Structure 1
Amino acid sequence: MILTVKILQTPSKECRIEVTASEPVISVKRMVARELDVPVHLQRLVFKGKTLAACLGRSTALWDKLQEVLHRHYEPGDAEIVLENFKKEFSSSVSSLSWDDIERLALSKMGASNNPSQAGPST
């Protein structure tokens, strides 16, 4: 499909990019960065009134904080790449958990919150 991307503050500046329906948002942002010279970390893509999120589920606070930390230590483009690679690895790791793994993790966290003395050494 072909998307028309417009910069809201500069209505005359726009581009058309060809993407697949399953194209990751970060990939679209990289195409827009090349075409319109807008860094990925400054883009907010909006489709049908909703911001397109390149994150996992509703845990945007985690990704926002991680992005903030990465931007302190990396150039903006590198920080985006590191964050996207981390998200992929995180997703893969979570996807590979068995139900038994999830249950053990939940039980250990429940035990830790119910009895802090058994949670192990604090740092």
Structure 2
Amino acid sequence: MKVIVKKLQGGECILEVLPTTHIFEIKRQVEEKLHIPVEEQKLLFLGRTLVDEQTIQAYPTIKDGTKLNLVVKKPEGLHEASVKHFKKMGMTDGEALCAANRLIKIVQDKFNRLSWDDIDRLSLDCLLDETGQPRAPIDADGDCDDMYSL
């Protein structure tokens, strides 16, 4: 059967699914077609969130041609992601928060030392990386292994 996944901010895709298809698999297909990471997706049907571990058949009102709504969750910022990471590494809440604050300060200090040319190259590299394009080779006369000194 076909289901239509409609992004609330615009855009949609049509997916071929089976009743035994898990919601998580639908999210993976959406990631491929709409380039939205699975962890940023929330699928809704009739205002209710679909559970990743459930299959289509767990929702009997989903039929051929049903539209599912896709909400794109805001990705975590560096601070939130680093706190979560430090907690997973065994730190207490307080330790993780302090470590995340130190990390943010280090990144800000390092970024403030970059020249406009460095920022331009870093931005271009990030854009190329997001689109999967290869980076141009670095000039042979550059003697710094870490172009951005991060």
Coarse TM-score class (shorter-chain normalised): 0.3 to 0.5
Normalised by the size of structure 1, how large is the TM-score?
Answer: 0.43
Larger radius of gyration: 2
Greater share of helix: 1
> RCO higher in 1 or 2 (8 Å CA, sep ≥ 6)?
2
